[in-house]
Each structure stands twice: as structure tokens, then as C-alpha cells.
Structure 1
Amino acid sequence: MLIRNQHPDYGTPLEPTDAETLGIEAAEAVERFLSHRPNHKPTPLRSLPALADQLGLGAIHLKDEGYRLGLGSFKALGGAYAVIRLVLEEAQRQLGRTVGMDDLHNPEVAKISASMTFGCATDGNHGRSVAQGAQLVGARSVIFVHGGVSDARVAAITRYGAEMVRVAGTYDDSVAEAARVCAERGWTVVSDTSWPGYEHIPGLVMQGYTAIMREALEKLPQPPTHVFVQSGVGGIAAAAAAYLSIRFGEKRPTFVVVDPARAACIFETARTGRPVKLAHGEPTVMAMLECYEPSPLAWRILSRVADAFMTVEDETAVEVMNRLARPLGHDPVVVAGESGGAGLAGLFTAARDPEMRAMICLDATSRVLLVVTEGATDPDRYRELVGLPPADLASVAIEGK
């Protein structure tokens, strides 16, 4: 399903705080932060001309976040960035002076960070990022996961020294439990979703994601005409849409938000015009996107700058994984996890449907930008769905193409 944005706020300016958090200067601040990370380099931008030709489009480019900071996911940009920013803010408050990245290992700052505990709920990738950020600054991390998070993803988080807490129920239940326990014990909760009175930290998480669009636009031969980005609670979609809106103004590309059909909280919110909490139903294969309640902060942004909202079926997401692993013509191999290719699943769905194509003006001149938000973060699941070991495919993929 695909619908155009009919919200009364559609086309109105972003709120000043959101524009400041996700604008050009904010993205430049993230880039300066990343320059201090020893394993940072821009992730690859892949061109898929054979696939574009098959779908009747002018160009398709994929920003491959499977190579991001050793975590294999775009989430590496959000949680770790927020943790380090929060340590610097607390050090500045306690020391009464300006504190920057170069001061992180100063004994005074290190003592402050060692006294801090960061908690969060996760489906896997966000928790890894928060845990990595805490480890980088010598802080403690406690990560809350629901029953649907695989043992492989839990193990990937514990490698960064995190304490793990299992929570009965869904992702949204783990969010509530993380918030409750952190408040009770005086820990700092680093959530990628917001709630009333809690927007600064989710804003920092989203600010980290602006690096994706900034890097992509530096490498694209021409600006995109269309951008498809998948959504869980809405954070990455809102960050990307806001940055593009500020960067291009009235000439911004058509922005399409893609939800799993089985966990379409942003789509249903757009359809009803207000935040909707969905009942927990049959799990989606796109486990990293299995969220049943949108972030109010993300929705506030998307209601203004997203042009359309759509859902995709699990079968199409798996088809995308297999197509990227076995590409057409001379297109590059791309390793995309179950959720990583959801934006491309949205493009597949729209490009094959004449009514959808017309609704968002997709044609042979369209230049489409997508984000592969994660690689094979659960290798066993990837092998099950694609029939190939991701490590073998990764050796074929040309990083940086």
C-alpha cells in the first residue's frame, strides 16, 4: 500500500529545534565527531544500473551502511554518538568549562564518564552502538532486549561489555522497561524513540544519522529525484527527510517512508493523522523494523517533510536480499540483512505497480537513492534466507564502489 502525505502540517517548516538538530551545521558537527573515530571512513555508495534498467528507472544508488564503524549497521552513528555527546555535556556541566572530543581521555573527564551508566532498549543494532559508545569512553552500559531478539544479536552486544536484561513482550515493552529501570537507578537512557519530556537524547541519536545523507550527496553524480528510507520508530527516516528538506528546500527529492506491512506504525500514523500504537501481531522477517509505536519526535518531522508512506511484504524483503546477493549484469554484490533492504523492497513494490509509479512520479528519468541500513548482522538468519554464507559474499563485494 502507498499513500500520499495528507497531514495538515505537510509542507510547513520544521520546528526550529528540529531544523537545528538535523540541519547542515549539525551534520558537519557529526562529521567532525566521526573524524575522531579511528575506524571511520564514509560507507560505500553503490550504483545498480542493471537493476535500474529492469525497473524502468534512470538510476539507483545504494548507501551501504553494512560497513559502518565495524558494527554493520547505520545504528553505529546514533547510539555511540549520543553517548559520547552526553558524556561531554555532563563533563562540561561538572567542570564548568568547554569540553570537546580532544578532552575525552583527560583524567577529569574520564573519571566522570566512568561514573555514568547508559541504558537502552534494542532489537539488536542500537544496543550495539550504545554499548560501543560506552566502552569507548569507559562508561557502563545495560541493554534491554525482548524475547524476539536472537542469541546471535545478544552475543554481538555483549562483546562490547554490556550487561544484558531480557524483557518479556515486544520491543515497545523493552523500551518502557528500560525507561523505568534507568529512572529508578539514576542511569541515562539512550533511546532512539521519544516520549513527552524526552526529546533531547533521541534528537542526538537522529543527528548522528545525518552523516548518511551528507556522505551520499558528496558522491552522487546528480541529486536524487526520489529517496526511499525504511522506518522502525521513524528515526532514520525523519533524520534523512529533514536533512534533505533543509539542504534542497523546494527542490528536495520525493521522500517515501517504508514500513513492514506487519509492523506499520508510521504508515498507520500517516493514514490516521495522529500517532498510532498497533497491537502486536505476527512477527515480520524485518526484525530490526518491528516496532508498533512511532516516535512522536520522528512523526512531528515526517508529517512535515515526508511525501508518501508505504508498506512492504516480508516476501519482497527476502527477494531484495537475494537479488542483491545475486545481482543483475555487472551490478555489485551487496550484503543486506532482513531489514537492511526494506527501502529497496519499497522501490520494487512501487516500480512494479503503475498506479504507485504515477502517484510518486517514478519514470525512466528518476534517480533513486536508498539506504541499506544493515549488513548480515545475524549471519545464521541471512544464510537461512539467502542460501549463501554472508562472509563469502562480503569478500566479493567491493568496498567503496
Structure 2
Amino acid sequence: MFLLNTTADYRQPLDPRDAETLGAAAAEEVERHLSFRENHAPTPLVALPGLAREIGVAAIHVKDEGHRLGLGSFKALGGAYAVIRLVLEEAEQRLGRVVDMAELHSEEVRAIARGMTVACATDGNHGRSVAQGAQLVGARAAILVHTGVSNERVAAIARFGAEMIRVEGSYDDSVREAAWVAEAKGWTIVSDTSWPGYERIPGLVMQGYTALVREALKQMPEPPTHVFIQSGVGGIAAAVAGHLAIELGDLRPVFTVVDPARAACLFETARAGRPVTIAHGEPTVMAMLECYEPSLVAWRILSRAADAFMTVDEADATGIMNRLARPHSGDPAVVAGESGGVGLAAAVKAVADPAIRATLAIDQRSRIFVVNTEGATDPGKYEEITGLSPAAVAAKNPEGALI
């Protein structure tokens, strides 16, 4: 399914709150924060010239977040960043002075962090980031996971010392349960989705994601003309669309938001012109995107900065995983998890459809940018789908394949 953005807010300036959250000054603060992280390095930008020639565009670039901060997904940028910001703010309030990031590991700050508990609901990747952030500062973490989260993903979060709480139902059920439990116990909820009255912390999570956009703009020979970004509740799509709108203004690329067909909450929200909750249906293999209710802050941004919305099917997602695992025409291999390659799957699907291609004005001069939002965060599932181990795929990369 495909539709253009026809909402009343389309192409209006970002809400001032969102422009501040995703603007240059905030993004520079994120970069400074990352400079204090021991294992930080910009993630690679991967060029796929063979696939670009095959589909008839000038360039395809993939920002490969499977390498981010040892967590294997872009979420490493958001949850941990928000946790650290919240600890520093609490320290400022308790100590009555400005507390710099450089003091994060001081005994004064760590003593304050030890008295804090952060909590969230997760499909896997966000919870891992929140748990890692809590471990870095010495705070406690309680992570709620729904019944669809694999044991492998639960174990990957638990290794950071988080308390794991299973919740019956879907991701959205776990979000509601996390908010209720956190309020009852006095914990700080660090969610990547927002609801009425709860916007600032999800904004900090999205703010963390601006780092990947700034890195990509520095790594690309030229800015992209078209961007396809996958969406769960909308946070990563909103962060990329919003920051590009601020940085590039009238020269910003054509931006398409991509949903799984079985969990198309942003697509249906765009169709309705207002946030809607969709019915739960058959589970999707795109587990990190299986969300049925959009983030209100993300929608506020996307209603202004997104140009189009589309969906991809199960076969699109698994097909692009296999294509990236078994590249040809000189392209490097990319380890993309079940949700990681969805933006690229949508780009290929859009270019193959003459009507969508024409509507988005894609031609042989177009430069497409996508984000591999996760590597093999569930290695067993990855091997089940591709028939290859993540290590075997990563070993295929030729010298100089990454920019």
C-alpha cells in the first residue's frame, strides 16, 4: 500500500518543541555525549552500486547501525542517552549546580544514580539500550517484555543486570503496563513512544538518533534525494525526517515512512489524518516494528516532514535480508535483522512500481538513503531466515566496501 501525505500539517514548519529537540545544537550535544562513551565510533555507510544499477538509480547508501555501541541497533543511541541525561539532571537538582557529562562516573553522581530505577517496555532493542545506560551510570533497570519477545532477546537485555518482567499481550500492552508499574513504584519510565502528558523523555530518545543522521550527511558524497525509513511507533522515522528538514530546508529529500503491512499504525494514521490505534492481527516477522499505536510526538513531526507512507510484506522483509546476505555485482554483504532492511525493501519495491516511482519522482539521478536499523539481534532467527550465520555473512565483505 502507498499514499501521499495529505494532512493539513504537511510541509508546515516543525513545532518549536520538536525543532529544538532535533536541531543542530541538540545534535551537537548528542555528539559530545557520545565522545565520552568508551566504545563509540561512527557506524559505516555502505554503498550498494550494483543494486543501484540494477534498479536504475544513481546511488544507494545504507547507514549500517548493526555496529552501534556493541548493541547491534540504532536504539543504542536513544535509550542509553536518555538515561544518562536524566541522571545528570537529577544530579544537578540534588547538588544544586551544573553537572557536566565529564562527571558521570564521579562518586557524587553515581551515588545519586544508585537511588534511581529506570523502566521501559521493549520489543528488544530499546530495552537493551536502556539497560546498558543504567549499567553505565550505576542505576537499576526494570525492563518489561511482551510474550512475543524471544528468549534470545530477553537474555541479551538481562546481561546488563536489568530486572526482566514478562507481560501478557502485545508491545502496546507492555507499554501500558510499564507506565502503570513505574508510577506505582516511583520508577522513571524511559519510553521510546509518547502519549498525552508524556513527551519530553521520548523526545530525548529521538534526540539521540540524530547522531546517525549527522554522521551519514558527513559520510555521503552528496545529500540524498530520497529517503526510506522504517517505522514502529515512529521514533526513528521522525528523528531522521525532522533533522533532515531542519538541516536541508527546501533541499530536503523526498521522505517515505515504511510500515510492516501487518502492523501499519503510521500508514493508517496518515490515511486517517490523526493518530489511530489499529487492531492486532497476525504477527509480523518484522518484530521490532510490530506496533499498533503511534507515538504522538513522532506523528506530530511526520505529519509535517514526511512526504509519503507505504507498507511492505513479509516476503519483502525476508527477501532483502537474503539479498544483503548474498550480494552480487560487487556489492558488500550487510548483516540486516528482520526489521533492519525494511527501508531498503521499500525503496526497491517503490522503484519497481511505475506509479510509485513516478509519484516520488525517482529516476536515474536519484540518490537513495536508508538505515539498516539492526544487525542480527536474534542470531538464531537470522540464520533460520537466511540459512547463513551472521559471522559468515560479515566475513564476505571485500576490502574497501565500506565508506
- Equivalent in the alignment of 1:145: 145
CA RMSD of aligned residues (A): 0.8
Within 5 Å, give how 1:109-258 maps onto structure 2.
109-258=109-258
Moved more, 152-161 or 103-112: 103-112
SS in 1 for 2:97: coil
Q: CA deviation at 1:334?
A: 0.3
- Equivalent in the alignment of 1:290: 290
Alpha-carbon displacement from aligned partner over 1:204-229 (angstroms, at most 9, x marks no partner): 00000001110000010011000110
> How many Å separate the matches in 2 of 1:9 and 1:93?
38
- Equivalent in the alignment of 2:71: 71
Alpha-carbon displacement from aligned partner over 1:129-160 (angstroms, at most 9, x marks no partner): 00000000000000000000000000000010
Q: CA deviation at 1:400?
A: 4.5
Within 5 Å, give how 1:75-94 maps onto structure 2.
75-94=75-94
> How many Å separate the matches in 2 of 1:241 and 1:192?
16
Aligned length: 401
Alpha-carbon displacement from aligned partner over 1:220-267 (angstroms, at most 9, x marks no partner): 001100011000000000000000000011110000000000000000
- Equivalent in the alignment of 1:356: 356
SS in 2 for 1:82: helix
- Output the TM-score relative to the length of structure 1: 0.99
> How many Å separate the matches in 1 of 2:346 and 2:11?
23
> How many Å separate the matches in 2 of 1:94 and 1:180?
26
Q: Is 1:65–1:74's contact at 8 Å kept on the other side of the alignment?
A: yes
> How many Å separate the matches in 2 of 1:218 and 1:205?
22
Alpha-carbon displacement from aligned partner over 1:50-89 (angstroms, at most 9, x marks no partner): 0001111110000000000000000000000000000001
- Equivalent in the alignment of 1:326: 326
Q: CA deviation at 1:106?
A: 1.7
Q: Is 1:135–1:160's contact at 8 Å kept on the other side of the alignment?
A: yes
Q: CA deviation at 1:391?
A: 1.7
> How many Å separate the matches in 2 of 1:138 and 1:102?
15
Structure 2 residue runs without a partner (length 5+): none
SS in 1 for 2:70: coil
Structure 1 residue runs without a partner (length 5+): none
Q: CA deviation at 1:114?
A: 0.5
Q: Is 2:335–2:393's contact at 8 Å kept on the other side of the alignment?
A: yes
SS in 2 for 1:69: helix
> How many Å separate the matches in 2 of 1:278 and 1:119?
25
- Output the TM-score relative to the length of structure 2: 0.99
Q: Kindly provide the amino acid, as one letter, of the partner of residue 124 in structure 1.
A: G
> How many Å separate the matches in 2 of 1:178 and 1:112?
23
> How many Å separate the matches in 1 of 2:379 and 2:248?
38
Q: CA deviation at 1:396?
A: 2.9
Within 5 Å, give how 1:369-384 maps onto structure 2.
369-384=369-384
> How many Å separate the matches in 2 of 1:381 and 1:60?
26
Q: Is 2:47–2:402's contact at 8 Å kept on the other side of the alignment?
A: no
- Equivalent in the alignment of 1:13: 13
SS in 1 for 2:222: coil
Q: CA deviation at 1:349?
A: 1.1
> How many Å separate the matches in 1 of 2:315 and 2:8?
34
Q: Kindly provide the amino acid, as one letter, of the partner of residue 294 in structure 2.
A: P
> How many Å separate the matches in 1 of 2:193 and 2:281?
20
> How many Å separate the matches in 2 of 1:182 and 1:347?
39
SS in 2 for 1:299: helix
SS in 1 for 2:258: strand
- Equivalent in the alignment of 2:386: 386
